[in-house]
Structure 1
Amino acid sequence: MQEQEKLIFHPISLDDRDWMNEKLREEKLEACEYTFANNFMWAEVYDVRVANAYGCGVIRCMGQRHVQYSFPFGNGDQRAVIVHLKKICVVYGRPLILYPITESSRLKLMEWFPGEFEIYSDRADADYVYTTEKLSSLKGKKLHGKRNHIARFMDGDDWRYEPMTQENIPECRRMAKEWETLRAEKWNEEMEQEIGVLEVAFSNFTKLGLTGGVLYKENKIVAFTIGEALNEDTFVVHFEKAFPDLQGAYPMINQQFVLHEAQDFQYVNREEDTGDLGLRKAKLSYYPDLLLKKYWAQESRVVFANERKPQEIINLWQQCFHDDTAYIQMYLDNRFETENMLVIYEDGCLVSMASLLPVQVTINGTKENARYVYAVATLPAYRKKGYASDLLRHALEKYGEPLILQPADRELQEYYEKHGFVDAFGESPCWIYAGKCTGPPVIPSGSENNLRAAEAEEETSQIEELGGWSVTDADAKAYKALRDEAFEKEGYVEWDEQAVAYAIKENQFCEGRTLLLARTVHDIGVQRAVLMYRIEGDSLHVIETTLHDNELHEVLPELLLHTNTAWAFERNMGGMIMLPEHFAAWDYKEGYLSLTLG
């Protein structure tokens, strides 16, 4: 075991340049934050401090609400650095937060500290990476508009490009001040910070090893760019300024800078968009070859599932729900994503889990993002310790979105009520026998209710017409469109096309079928509907349909005959919702859920 070293952070200075650059070169780091110059330039804004221990470098920054550390860089003992940082954070009573983390570092962290870090990404943090060839040539139909703007800029042949030097930096400063004046109406704190950081770059241009380019029009600077080498094959652009009202200035400086300064590199990293939609649109208009995902990691009892260890998920699922491996694997292959399953580890193993599937629900007339809570499970030996409660509480805080679920029975409904869930989706059981709606019969026993206990006869697949409706298999696009049209109202839970595709696939796995029905109606034209059902023993379970009751009664007799079933039923179990504080005033009991993906 390596002896513990001292890990002492000090404010970053030019004296740190050589050792940091050496450590940074030991790894091929792709995130735009991993350069000495970038950290030095932003030092005052984020109180950047650095340390060197265990053969690695590490950077400490002050975020808006917390202290965060970089992932250790260099070929030393990175794990030892993280262990040391964990101890420091214990002393100060705060969780260790690491950022930015690339994919390779994320995998290391999960291997070294299983179940200890919640690792997540934010789209606003992703770096935009392009091939140098694309930004140089602007070939292809998609970039035709960029070429047109550049052609307009070049009209008159009164422009020129120069590398940035100590001689033209003063004029670049004046141009930046003029640019600032033109942006006065949109000025904000972030812009003010960037102007300050830009001045640090100008003042230390040579010492930081920066490269710049300057664009002139009629002998006046109208745009400039500053960047540097990120690694052996990638150049990173830190600043780009141009007069917005001069047509073609931005695409021109973009292209000219890459043509003159980045030809020795295969890629150009143009950093993130920080969630600014205007900046996002501009960066996307160049069609990036890669959106480099960068992760945050925070010590937490509740973490995201490890996609590299599916067997531990399968084992927990089987012990709690008794589904076969093929069914669980189908779910993992189609619906699982690292950041939609929360889990808890105890004694080195996975003991509790909950899936949080993205969905939308109409609240006060607006479609709001929400999460459908699915497959909540805790190993029997670890129950009554509050793990499921911790998962739900963490999900509400993490996503800040309504949580929706459908409890399997009354006991679970009472359990979720104690945790803040309320009824929001009307429960409307309707039992159907041989096409006639009756009172509730005896519910089938567990053995009769086995979803895979019986198969429909061969002629099921031969259904071409039912009660005057032509019949084909529904695809996800058609199903979603008809479902949305039929059920859209206040409290409607809307699944996206990918989720509907899984629902159709899951239903087929469980001996079901999803039908698209069509008929021509006088004075109306073609009428379409969908019907999802599955066979359970000698019964036909209508999962969901857009048919009205009388229309359903028209098709059921023939469908029972085709499927060799004796009776049919439809049962909408309703559902529950837990609302974050900003939706607490919403009180609605007649929403629509029904389709619950398993």
Structure 2
Amino acid sequence: MKQLKLEDYAIIQPYLEKANYEGYNSNFVTMMMWNHEYHIQYEIHDNFLIMLHHYKNIYFWAMPFTTPEFYQEALDYMIKYSHQHGFPFMIDCAIESFVSTLQKNDYSHQFLFERTPFNDDYIYDKDMLQTLAGKKMQKRRNHYNAFLKAYPDYEYRDLDIVKDFDIIFTCLNRWEGEKDNLSESMTSEVRGIMSLLSSKHLLPFHIGGIFIHNQLEAFIIASKLNHSTIQIHVEKANKDIRGLYPAILKELLEHHFQNEKWVNREEDMGLENLRRSKQSLHPVKMIHKYRIYENQTIIEKANDHDLEDIKKLWLQCFEDETEESTNYYFQELYHKENTFVLKNDNRILSALQIVPMSIMKNKKPEECYFILGVCTHPYFQKQGLMKQLLYFVLSKYTNKTIYLQAYHPEIYRPFGFHASHYHQVIEIDKNMLENYSDLKISQQYDLLEKYYHQFVSHFDEYRIRSHEYWQLLRKRCESFNDQILIFEDLGYFIYHEDDESIYISEAIYFNQNNLLQMLSYFKKSSKKLILECDMTVNLNCESKYIITIMSNTLQKDRMESNKYINEVY
């Protein structure tokens, strides 16, 4: 491997052009600006060029610079090199077209692909940023017009690296020195800027500046990419001067790059303020980026060290989970011995838990299993990881009756699961409810278990809820911000209330007349009243059916009113 140097431009550039990748990471100017951070090395082979980066004790590759017919040859070499030198194979900042080509080939099983949206490039319409025309540019245009009004005598000119070096350096020190906390990345950027300036005579980029009263107040550095695109490497301006940022970019685009169509303003690094700023300029598209790893997945039971990673994965996958509901699940229901995880390089990418669940079937108890918490990291989805994990777990529980919740039934049908339990979701017409003044609300929570047993005794199949279940129910409801409403001698509701509606998620009652009496409790509420209930309820209201539970014991979906299972977890 050779260290990448400025003098290598003539050798490297033909390979960059041959690869013809989108994205600013494949720009030699970018490489040189940040080479002090990434310590890039390269090797040239008969059919490809490869580049290895070394950043803070992490090694990673760029995409191989070649044409698609040589991708496999290059990747095989890169993997072999990684193994020989003792670091994990990883390609960073791979673009979508490269990933798509790999995924369509026979060797795709060798790799795992991670979406990295914080690395995505923002692409803009050059004419829009140059002319500032149109409704989308109104705010930016207003800033620019304010600048013109305040500083009509400003001057824009290309900067000369020899004559203007000291001026640029002085301005950088002034602008960066005004910041209270100069981050490591900012310090590195200043070093990169100075590196570029010192190499202007060898690299194809433009640098322009705006002077106000003979003082440099803004400068910009840009270069040409493939695909009729301009990359903005650096954009620095006095933040106290309104409209200076729109002005410096507009001037550069008017003076250079007349034949290009697009502007690449790099990534947002996952920083919310930077994301908002880049979104405000209305990108026309994003160049999606990925990391590529060698596929070395293993499946095993969770251990003590996996807890925090599984909890983090849970929160990433289930957006409706709160800190309270997550803590409840992991404090009360999570058991490592029932949890299986899929890992790659010791990183948990997918997980599920399978727990015993007792079911009463035709008055006979049966020990079954319940799968819950099925999750795959959002950035690794659609690669068959959940499929791999689920098949593994099912192979360990052959000839066992297994249930799971049917949030997305279409996902589980290929694994032999079909709908076994349904609910109705009914929007209650409150005009049909009578006023009952003698409803007795109870705080005797031991009635919950009694009422449940009385309710399910009429069904051929239901879950046997253990004493521990009832001990935890109030805590579970608190974690979900659910309310328990017990009606003496009638039944109980578990419901959730927001600004617009009351949603009853569990309705336990003795007969339909009792149910109507209980529903009348909400008659005077102005909110929409939604009842999720078993299939035997018959109300003259708008309703729909939903699948609540799926089972591996059926050959097809089966809707039966004599079954009741209603579980969250």
The TM tier, using the shorter chain, reads 0.5 to 0.7
- The answer as to 2:167 corresponding to 1:171 is yes
Structure 1 residues 391-540: aligned runs within 5 Å:
391=342, 393=343, 397-398=347-348, 409=357, 468=432, 489-491=478-480, 524-532=524-532, 540=536
Structure 1 residues 216-246: Cα deviation after superposition (integer angstroms, max 9, x where no partner): 1222111111011111411111111011111
CA root-mean-square deviation: 4.6
2:124 to 104, 109, 130: 130
Describe the shift of the 1:195–1:462 C-alpha distance in structure 2 as closer, same or farther (beyond 3 A). closer
Describe the shift of the 1:559–1:245 C-alpha distance in structure 2 as closer, same or farther (beyond 3 A). closer
Structure 1 residues 410-429: Cα deviation after superposition (integer angstroms, max 9, x where no partner): 67759999xxxxxxxxxxxx
Amino acid in structure 1 at the alignment position of 2:340: S
1:35 to 9, 27, 37: 27
Describe the shift of the 1:240–1:559 C-alpha distance in structure 2 as closer, same or farther (beyond 3 A). closer
Cα distance in 1 between the residues matched to 2:10 and 2:211? 34
Structure 1 residues 21-71: Cα deviation after superposition (integer angstroms, max 9, x where no partner): 111112321111101121122112111111111322221111334200111
Contact 1:50 1:58 in 2 (8 A): yes
Count of equivalent residues: 409
Describe the shift of the 1:205–1:526 C-alpha distance in structure 2 as closer, same or farther (beyond 3 A). same
Structure 1 residues 3-402: aligned runs within 5 Å:
9-75=1-67, 77-110=70-103, 111-155=105-149, 156-166=151-161, 167-183=163-179, 185-302=180-297, 357-364=317-324, 389-391=340-342, 393=343, 397-398=347-348
Describe the shift of the 1:141–1:488 C-alpha distance in structure 2 as closer, same or farther (beyond 3 A). farther
Structure 1 residues 554-584: Cα deviation after superposition (integer angstroms, max 9, x where no partner): x646689999x99566533242xxxxxxxxx
When normalised by structure 2's length, the TM-score is: 0.62
SS at match of 2:133: coil
Unaligned runs of 5+ in 2: 299-313, 331-336, 359-366, 374-400, 404-416, 435-475, 483-518, 546-558
Offset at residue 361 of structure 1 (A): 1.6
Bigger radius of gyration, 1 or 2?
2
Contact 1:222 1:243 in 2 (8 A): yes
Describe the shift of the 1:63–1:368 C-alpha distance in structure 2 as closer, same or farther (beyond 3 A). farther
Amino acid in structure 2 at the alignment position of 1:168: D
Amino acid in structure 2 at the alignment position of 1:170: D
Q: Which residue of structure 2 lines up, in the alignment, with residue 475 of structure 1? A: none
Identity %: 20
Unaligned runs of 5+ in 1: 1-8, 304-353, 371-385, 418-443, 471-486, 494-518, 541-554, 576-598
Cα distance in 1 between the residues matched to 2:290 and 2:328? 25
Describe the shift of the 1:398–1:208 C-alpha distance in structure 2 as closer, same or farther (beyond 3 A). farther
Contact 2:144 2:246 in 1 (8 A): yes
Q: Which residue of structure 1 lines up, in the alignment, with residue 388 of structure 2? A: none
Structure 1 residues 306-332: Cα deviation after superposition (integer angstroms, max 9, x where no partner): xxxxxxxxxxxxxxxxxxxxxxxxxxx
Amino acid in structure 2 at the alignment position of 1:107: S
Amino acid in structure 2 at the alignment position of 1:468: M
Cα distance in 1 between the residues matched to 2:127 and 2:156? 19
Cα distance in 2 between the residues matched to 1:163 and 1:16? 26
SS at match of 2:565: strand
Describe the shift of the 1:452–1:187 C-alpha distance in structure 2 as closer, same or farther (beyond 3 A). closer
When normalised by structure 1's length, the TM-score is: 0.59
Amino acid in structure 2 at the alignment position of 1:77: F
Describe the shift of the 1:187–1:413 C-alpha distance in structure 2 as closer, same or farther (beyond 3 A). farther
Cα distance in 2 between the residues matched to 1:189 and 1:141? 38
Greater CA deviation, 215-224 or 522-531?
Answer: 522-531
Cα distance in 2 between the residues matched to 1:445 and 1:132? 57
Q: Which residue of structure 2 lines up, in the alignment, with residue 331 of structure 1? A: none
Cα distance in 1 between the residues matched to 2:188 and 2:86? 30
SS at match of 1:37: helix
SS at match of 1:572: coil
SS at match of 1:186: coil
Offset at residue 359 of structure 1 (A): 2.7
Q: Which residue of structure 2 lines up, in the alignment, with residue 338 of structure 1? A: none
Contact 1:360 1:369 in 2 (8 A): no
Describe the shift of the 1:201–1:454 C-alpha distance in structure 2 as closer, same or farther (beyond 3 A). closer
Offset at residue 280 of structure 1 (A): 1.6
Contact 1:362 1:489 in 2 (8 A): no
Offset at residue 408 of structure 1 (A): 8.0
Contact 2:355 2:370 in 1 (8 A): no
SS at match of 2:109: coil
SS at match of 2:203: coil
Structure 1 residues 148-181: Cα deviation after superposition (integer angstroms, max 9, x where no partner): 1111111241212112222333312221111111
Offset at residue 367 of structure 1 (A): 11
SS at match of 2:139: helix
Cα distance in 2 between the residues matched to 1:245 and 1:366? 45
Amino acid in structure 2 at the alignment position of 1:164: L
Cα distance in 2 between the residues matched to 1:70 and 1:148? 41
